[in-house]
Amino acid sequence: MRQTNKYELASSDLYFLTDKNSKLLKLKLQGQAIPLISAQPHLLAITDCHNNEVITQRETCGIIDGFREKGSAFGQDIKYLFKCQSKKRFLKFTLALVNKGPDCVFDVKFILPVVNKQWQWAQDINESLKITGNKVYESNSREGSSIYPLGVIYNNDGGLCLATSPYTPLCFNIGYKEDVGFYLRYRLGLIGGKNIQHKLSFMIYAVDGQWNIRDAFQKYYAIFPQAYRTKVDNAGLWLFASDISTLSQKQMFGFYESGAMHEYNEVGHKGIIARARQSMSNGVIPFRYTIPGQKEVEYLPKVPTSLDEALEKLHDPKYDVGPNIKKHTKLQKIKAVEDSCLYDKKGQIEYLGRETFWAGNAATFVQNPDPRILHGKLLLQDCIKYLLVHKCFKGIYIDSLYRWGAYKNYRREHLKVHDGFTSHDEEGDLYIYNWMSHFIFLRYLHHELKEKKYLLFGNGIGKTRMLVAAYLDVLGTECGTTIPLDNYSFFRVAAGNKPYLLLTHDYENKKNVRQYLHRALLYGLFPSFKNSGLDKLIEGRMTIAEDVYWKKWYERDKEFFEQYVPILRKMHKLGWQPVTLARVDVDKVYIERFGKPQAGKCIFTIYNDNPGPVKIRLQISGNIAEPGRRMELVDISKNKCLPYVIVDNGDISVKGLTLSSNRTNVLELGFV
């Protein structure tokens, strides 16, 4: 609605009043006015990163479901369109830009100039920080971008969430600073001469003050359901490069990573096919191995010590280039490697000289898997053809998304074909993170396979890789048994209701293994073990010696797996719910919920991270109770019914619940 050059934007819980230059004049959260920082000019600023000047020139034209603003920057080189759509529960903003001039580097910053009203910054689903002083509050990874695609500030009355789309791979930060406000900043670049429109979108919505970032994630999953909804009904453990017919624990596995390089060395193509069929006959989904982010010259006499030596070995016909799904000629492999190599800031090829257990002494070249570049194009074709020919495989396994995605790519030819915004460094040089190119490869592969109902299983979804997960159906990571608890919570959040699998070869320390298993149980993650006997040589090539854990160490942990794998499967089917509807009264005790009470049953997991046992009081929201229906609360980890009382506000209260250190109790609440 237009009011003398003023614009109203509203969702069910938010109200904005702006002027024609998108300056925020009034903000209401759930009907209450939020004080604004008067010195802050506009909701949107595009900043030239060469001289740190705001360079947008505004020309406002009419309203389309809110406001619509168009303008230019960098003289007339960049044309942009900024618009808002009012949805029922959120406001959606879209920014489209076209660069008709030379390369440009800029930051796009959206600012809600809200005064600090005793806000807290939600660091993750288990930790919040009280905002004090003029500090920067951001939750960033080691790569400098926000770990999560959303950020939340809140107080007792409610909160605000800024969120970016999971389908646009960008470098961004979400944060709060007292003299700025609540902001979302994208670090962007546009290559010159392309004259192609690129878009980004983000949204703002209100969150419940009590559940803050948990409520934010619940709403985010509802906005983008396809990115976080599971396609897998019966999940299970990660089977790594093994013959399932030789294992006694067949019924526990759900997913088979087939054809890893050392496994291929041992049993060959026919052996891989036979193992995939065995897995299928045991109800375990087989995935064909691929690794988009690297190619390596294998089994060299010694580790290359220079790029020249590595390139010499690449061109030497005596040495093969792997890994591959489909065999190509040596000339095809060389051209694919050279066309797809990443360049660092100095224009040098990114490579590693290293010794590995799957390729011996090797020259490893970091690769851009974008399907518009030769390596990605061939790999995409190979994946599709392989699945069509070998019907026993039900999907593709994509390895090392974390490691090879961490490289910055400054190669000019790659920047020109990149489908989207680039990023920029402090000196204003354009680059793309290789995880962005992996994202594009996954998008293409997902598009080709979705109609045929094949699945994608990605390894390496650690912090900074949540956006990569949008097109995956199964997520996983290889990890140690002593990683921090907030890594486990990240894994759960990144997956939504998709299965998330863990794989470790660190199994000798009993205490650490117990912690690993029970932290995974808390978040409904499937913990597994990797073969460590990778020391057997066949014709000079490394292969898997034996299933060390499952044949030698499993008995120690057998009780956990027999009891909890069926429970983990039940939790997966019920689905993780970020808003727990439950509280405990002791610090360092964590609780999660799986399932919706309206469906008649839900599971609560409670983990004690204290060094010793604790006694807690558990309070479950009265929203769960239904008049006239009797509830039963069972500690299924102990097969014991728990007494509870209904307190004055209708909440369910359980007193005196004892938790052992580094253990997860599993409670099932149902109507009888």
Mean pLDDT computed over 84-107: 88
What is the spatial distance between Cα 548 and Cα 507, in angstroms, rounded to a whole number? 10
Residue 24 pLDDT exceeds 90: no
Residue 63 binned pLDDT confidence (cut-offs 50, 70, 90): very low
Asked whether the whole model's pTM tops 0.85, one would answer yes
Q: Is 17 part of any domain?
A: yes
Q: Which of 196, 223, 250 is the last residue of a domain?
A: 223
Residue 57 binned pLDDT confidence (cut-offs 50, 70, 90): very low
CA dihedral 580, 583, 589, 593 (to 10 degrees): -20
Q: 480 to each of 404, 475, 509, 513, how far by Cα in Å?
A: 19, 17, 11, 9
Domain with 663 in it: 580-671
Question: Which carries the bigger pLDDT value, residue 167 or residue 77?
Answer: 167
| Residue 199: predicted pLDDT | 93
| Residue 627: predicted pLDDT | 65
Residue 196 pLDDT exceeds 90: no
What is the spatial distance between Cα 325 and Cα 38, in angstroms, rounded to a whole number? 60
* Contact present, 113 and 180 (Cβ < 8 Å): yes
Q: At what angle do helices 554-574 and 510-522 cross, to 10 degrees?
A: 10
pLDDT digits (tens, 9 = 90+) for 282-340: 999 999 999 999 999 999 999 999 999 999 999 999 998 987 655 788 898 999 999 99
Contacts by residues 645-649 (CB-CB < 8 Å, ≥ 24 positions apart)? 646/622, 647/619, 649/622
Residue 51 binned pLDDT confidence (cut-offs 50, 70, 90): low
Q: Is 586 part of any domain?
A: yes
Give the whole-number percent of the chain exceeding pLDDT 70: 90
Q: Is 415 part of any domain?
A: no
**CATH number for the domain that contains residue 73:** 2.70.98.10
CB burial readout 19-30, b (16+ within 10 A) else e: ebbbbbeebebe
| Residue 71: predicted pLDDT | 61
| Residue 62: predicted pLDDT | 29
549: Cβ–Cβ under 8 A, 6 or more apart, which residues?
505, 507, 529, 530, 531, 532
| Residue 3: predicted pLDDT | 46
Arithmetic mean of pLDDT over the chain: 89
Q: Is 413 part of any domain?
A: no
Comparing CA positions, the residue from 212, 50, 197, 56 lying closest to residue 126 is 212
Tally of domains in the chain: 2
Question: Which carries the bigger pLDDT value, residue 630 or residue 603?
Answer: 603
Residue 625 pLDDT exceeds 70: no
Q: Which of 160, 188, 223 is the last residue of a domain?
A: 223
| Residue 631: predicted pLDDT | 82
What is the spatial distance between Cα 489 and Cα 491, in angstroms, rounded to a whole number? 5
Residue 47 pLDDT exceeds 90: no
pLDDT digits (tens, 9 = 90+) for 183-193: 999 999 999 87
Residue 66 pLDDT exceeds 50: no
pLDDT digits (tens, 9 = 90+) for 393-449: 999 999 999 999 999 999 999 999 998 999 999 899 999 999 999 999 999 999 999
Q: Is 230 part of any domain?
A: no
Residue 515 binned pLDDT confidence (cut-offs 50, 70, 90): very high
**CATH number for the domain that contains residue 648:** 2.60.40.1180
pLDDT digits (tens, 9 = 90+) for 254-291: 999 998 777 777 788 899 999 999 999 999 999 999 99
Q: Is 159 part of any domain?
A: yes
Q: Is 610 part of any domain?
A: yes
Helix (H, G, I), strand (E, B) or coil at 520: helix
Q: Which of 204, 223, 242 is the last residue of a domain?
A: 223
Q: Is 426 part of any domain?
A: no
